[in-house]
C-alpha cells in the first residue's frame, strides 16, 4: 500500500506542463527585451545622432574626460582646442554623449 502511494505522488502531471514552461520562457524573453535590449538600442541611436549633429565650435567631452571646443572636423576625426593653441585629434566615436550633455547643462 505504501508503494502505491509513493508512485502516485511522484507521477508527472497529466498535461499542460510544457505550455506553462513555454509561456514562462516567452515572458522572460519579453521582459529581457524591454528592460535590456531596447534601452541599449535607444542609447546607441541617441549617441549616433549626437555625433552626426555636432559642429565646429561646440564644447564637448571625450570618453577619456578631455574637455574642449571643436576646432576642425573631418569625416571620422575631430580636432579639439583644449587650451590656447593646444590641439588634440580624436576619433568621433570617442565623444561622450552623457558628459557633453552635463557640460552643456552647466553652461
Give the model confidence (pLDDT) of 32-70 as tens digits. 999 999 999 999 999 899 898 889 988 999 988 899 999
pLDDT at 41: 94
pLDDT digits (tens, 9 = 90+) for 20-39: 999 999 999 999 999 999 99
Nearest to 52 by CA among 8, 104, 20, 93: 93
Strands in the chain per DSSP E: 59-61, 67-73, 77-81, 87-91
Q: What is the pLDDT of residues 1-21, one digit of tens each?
A: 555 555 555 555 555 688 899
Amino acid at each position: 500500500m505504501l508503494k502505491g502511494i509513493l508512485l502516485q505522488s511522484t507521477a508527472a502531471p497529466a498535461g499542460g506542463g510544457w505550455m506553462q514552461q513555454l509561456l514562462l520562457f516567452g515572458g522572460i524573453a519579453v521582459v529581457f527585451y524591454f528592460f535590456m535590449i531596447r534601452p541599449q538600442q535607444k542609447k546607441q541611436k541617441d549617441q549616433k545622432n549626437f555625433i552626426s549633429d555636432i559642429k565646429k565650435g561646440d564644447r564637448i567631452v571625450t570618453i577619456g574626460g578631455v574637455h574642449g571646443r571643436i576646432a576642425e572636423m573631418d569625416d571620422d576625426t575631430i580636432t579639439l582646442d583644449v587650451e590656447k593653441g593646444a590641439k588634440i585629434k580624436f576619433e568621433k566615436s570617442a565623444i561622450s554623449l552623457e558628459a557633453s550633455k552635463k557640460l552643456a547643462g552647466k553652461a
